[in-house]
Amino acid sequence: MELWWYILLSLILFTIGVIGVLIRRNAIVIFMSIELMLNAVNIALVAFSRHFNNLNGQIMVFFIMAVAAAEVAIGLSILVQIYKDKKTLDVDEINLLKG
Q: What does pTM read for this prediction?
A: 0.86
pLDDT classification of 97: cutoffs 50, 70, 90 = low
pLDDT at 98: 63
Angle between helices 3-23 and 27-51 (to 10 degrees): 160
Cα distance between residue 37 and residue 68, in whole Å: 11
pLDDT of residue 62: 95
Tell me what percent of the residues of the chain surpass a pLDDT of 90.
Answer: 68
* Structural domains of the chain, ranges and CATH numbers in brackets: 3-86 (1.10.287.3510)
pLDDT category, 96, cuts 50, 70, 90?
low
